Structure 1
């Protein structure tokens, strides 16, 4: 039975209230998403269609944003091929695979709205006079795979094998499910309860643990056999007794039935007010802002990284001894390449949040900040006396941002990690065409998109604060990211239509020496399997068909010229926006 829908969230004042927007020009990469997010943030449309959106309002001036596919790509399929998304998503299966959702376009649209909000914020504070924002899907896509690119350019190899394999699992009675634990002891206890061999349990933990980094998990096949020999009831009991979390894969129809219509973020103004400050000089729109980030893994650190790319000073709160993920292999100059992809350029302050004196020090730091951002476990901030009410008491101007797994919207929610949210919300069905079994992608789709939406929410909160003189509490979640990503497929399911793309959708074609991808809905006129890639592309283009080579080794992108290296020698993708 589907979970009852949670009550729709009442709308509060929006940062774009009183502003109007219109579209113009040729179609862009993410027109529907940009228009929808501008409406959700309070703007009203003057009509028009196209890939350039212009927003205007009294005392706010005019800011426009345009989205394009890029220099090589012409649509979603060719963008995924050209920037490595097909390569990363396909690692679980051993060959490049296209995502059946418009992931590059979704990221592009969110980044475009971020750019517009940042431009409006800079103008409202008397900072840089920004009138235009440009975002390409190719650059947006590079940001989504930046951690994988960083690892490809590191000085050492991966800590876990890059080979096909991974979840989901299937029980003896046909339940397909995801498994989650962050504890090796819990992992071992779960499998022992299913009588799995000890050697396989030991060998399986490392690839399972590192699947967030590698997008594959080649653990021993005997573990799959252990669950296939067990009923779902036994598997659930094993999870409960060991402390592991299991979640059956839900369909898009199930998610559509319970969908509450909530926006991907929630902005709640405080009662207290403050006096707006003037901007400091700087080329970037967030120059002069200070962000305190107490994040872990991907979602919150990426949100803060995006704010840093826009010019904010980001101060990262780390435990005594520093973030242990700094040492996660592979490394560049002794620092984790993946960690640098999310955290380069940030300042770091070590704070023991278990210590009353250090918590007081953190409150004092928050008193002088513009944003406090975290993704702690639900309820932890309140237990520590670091919830929004606690910090707002000392700083009414604070934008308090919480990036969570579920945002409290599902009562029966499992652990709020990327792959569990994918399983629970039908993403596993949406990302694969009809001739593939539903399975969550082992690319961290929702952690990354959740981080981008978290940054968008913070920017919306800062602009709302500027326009209303109220501090703001901001909530975003992986659930919101899943709902944004699957919106078209979920809408088809809600209408009783088949939500999945047709068989073979966005599946690249093998050539004699590589792979090529055609634009969506293009029909291949002949077999290219015996042709070299260059020759196959030339023949297809002579017939007027858009096609690109599929990047299968991310290291090949590092020589493209658009990717630089930071002070540690780690690859750094270009900033996704251009401002004028």
Structure 2
């Protein structure tokens, strides 16, 4: 790996400084990718030219990068990509790749997301591919011509749902009658819509008891509420909403605060958010002086992150999926898990001896068990970090300091480390913050209001769109951090948040019609889709369940030229 002499601060926060990219096309995906590359310091030229036939959603081509030598990266973006089902826009992808089906589970029938969600995800993946390609060239790699598609982004977003559907076919969630009113969100006596969150059954019980709900309704409501992240449905007893509407919002909020339940108002799409940070990934160098690394870790494999080692200590969706994306780019990922392993390994349905949902986010990773609250566990984490390039965690605020494993602690053993925190709210809400979870972020940032059809009250989708997009943004920040570290020799801190995903969806939303006019068939059976030969390039199977494949392909420039007419 070569270290180029340059200012530490600027290339760490803008690691593509000095790079020029030419963008063709005007899809949401290519515009999102161009915006992300600009935020990394890249000059993006747009000349109003149409995309080439083999990249109908756009093309990004690096034209100049004086700080590297060798072939320059590019990324081609399609709609269908390798899928043998014609798609020509966002709504086609949502229909043909299962997004309408999963989003519509909560209301009993397929529904379009009223945001260009798959296109936004594809744009982040495309920017990620270009940045990873630049890092690969800097490290001596050659497979830097990437291709992705909006359909592949959609498949990655649904990988958990596909894994569940294929591991236990025919046992999907019960759907409500079409058009039925749904809760959550809940409504107070003054008409305020609000979302609540807790992972603790006792907090759920105390909250509803405080409001006067019947014990039977409280007990019946907990399983669907707890499982809604996995099922995309949440059929709660009507008695819970009947109790909520008897109280004004301040009283409900006091009950939530007294019982440890997080609560936020479902905001309008125009509700102001704090100014965005200068770097969307909050990239900044460690205060220590840059440390030269003459050789770097030896590349093994073909992915652009081949030879990169990632230590991941994360749970639920955002952190593990971020680590999974880095693994799909070629990195070796090692999970730090508590003694006995991550409890999510045993959550049904099972694919063999391990949870299908867990495998969708964690297959291919190694695991080391360590109790991070103990001295021995901390020493294990420090030992792993000392021989790694990235440390990725999504612990609750303050936990890193309590563990003695914050950025400064790990920089002491690995000064060139990329220390990545995948959080919930960042600066969007003041402390003490509510839980940083998907549906609360949708509600507060106004995304829930963007999703609702005209005439319907705003409600978050129960498809985990924020968790997934937040994971992609986290992985994007890690790749940018690795490039900054490679250019400067400095360690890099990366901080992303689920709220960043909400902000990005808001910023890219166009009222009116990018999602209109689908012609592709609407998929209503994820297991059948995964088994359909037309979708073979999207999914792979271990014999027990199916999972999405990597959302890009990387080839050497000479290989791509041979394929061009």
- Structure 2 length-normalised TM: 0.88
Q: After TM superposition, list the pairs within 5 Å mapping 1:91-490 onto structure 2.
A: 91-127=105-141, 129-155=142-168, 161-163=174-176, 165-255=182-272, 258-260=274-276, 262-270=278-286, 271-276=288-293, 277=296, 279-411=298-430, 413-489=433-509
**1:550/1:567 Cα in 2 relative to 1: closer, same or farther (>3 Å)?**
closer
SS in 1 for 2:21: strand
SS in 2 for 1:134: strand
Deviation at 1:570, TM superposition (A): 1.6
Deviation at 1:565, TM superposition (A): 4.4
Root-mean-square deviation (Å): 2.1
Distance 1:521 1:304 in 2: 34
Maintained 8 Å contact 2:18/2:67 = no
From 68, 80, 85, the equivalent of 2:94 is 80
**1:45/1:27 Cα in 2 relative to 1: closer, same or farther (>3 Å)?**
closer
| 1:289-319 per-position Cα deviation (integer Å, ceiling 9, x unaligned) | 1100001000010000001111111101110
| 1:316-338 per-position Cα deviation (integer Å, ceiling 9, x unaligned) | 11100100001111111131111
Maintained 8 Å contact 1:161/1:207 = no
Deviation at 1:13, TM superposition (A): 3.7
SS in 2 for 1:266: coil
**1:215/1:166 Cα in 2 relative to 1: closer, same or farther (>3 Å)?**
farther
Deviation at 1:216, TM superposition (A): 1.1
Deviation at 1:568, TM superposition (A): 5.6
| 1:518-552 per-position Cα deviation (integer Å, ceiling 9, x unaligned) | x8444xxxxxxxxxxxxxxxxxxxxxxx6111111
Deviation at 1:263, TM superposition (A): 4.1
From 72, 78, 82, the equivalent of 1:68 is 78
Q: Give the equivalent residue in structure 2 for 1:22.
A: 22
Maintained 8 Å contact 2:12/2:485 = no
**1:274/1:161 Cα in 2 relative to 1: closer, same or farther (>3 Å)?**
farther
**1:547/1:567 Cα in 2 relative to 1: closer, same or farther (>3 Å)?**
closer
Q: Which moved more, 1:97-106 or 1:156-165?
A: 156-165
Distance 1:249 1:418 in 2: 13
Q: Give the equivalent residue in structure 2 for 1:43.
A: 42
SS in 2 for 1:99: coil
Deviation at 1:147, TM superposition (A): 0.4
Deviation at 1:159, TM superposition (A): 9.1
SS in 2 for 1:450: helix
Q: Give the equivalent residue in structure 1 for 2:66.
A: 58
Higher normalized contact order (CA 8 Å, seq sep 6+, divided by chain length):
2
Distance 2:61 2:466 in 1: 29
Distance 2:445 2:272 in 1: 6
What are the ranges of 5 or more consecutive residues in structure 1 without an aligned counterpart?
A: 1-8, 490-498, 506-518, 523-545
Maintained 8 Å contact 1:187/1:205 = yes
Maintained 8 Å contact 2:540/2:549 = no
Deviation at 1:175, TM superposition (A): 0.6
Maintained 8 Å contact 2:91/2:516 = no
Tell me the matched-pair count.
521
Maintained 8 Å contact 1:29/1:137 = no
Q: Give the equivalent residue in structure 2 for 1:551.
A: 523
SS in 1 for 2:292: coil
Maintained 8 Å contact 1:159/1:330 = no
Maintained 8 Å contact 2:11/2:488 = no
Deviation at 1:436, TM superposition (A): 2.2
Distance 1:19 1:183 in 2: 49
Maintained 8 Å contact 1:170/1:177 = yes
SS in 2 for 1:382: helix
Maintained 8 Å contact 2:137/2:144 = no
Deviation at 1:567, TM superposition (A): 3.5
- Structure 1 length-normalised TM: 0.86
SS in 2 for 1:340: helix
Distance 1:364 1:39 in 2: 36
SS in 1 for 2:299: coil
SS in 1 for 2:195: strand
Distance 2:548 2:276 in 1: 36
SS in 2 for 1:17: coil
Deviation at 1:195, TM superposition (A): 1.0
Distance 1:85 1:259 in 2: 31
Distance 2:525 2:280 in 1: 34
Q: Which moved more, 1:100-109 or 1:434-443?
A: 434-443
What are the ranges of 5 or more consecutive residues in structure 2 without an aligned counterpart?
A: 1-8, 52-57, 556-565
Maintained 8 Å contact 2:470/2:497 = yes
Maintained 8 Å contact 1:272/1:470 = yes
Match status 1:573 vs 2:548: yes
Maintained 8 Å contact 1:151/1:158 = no
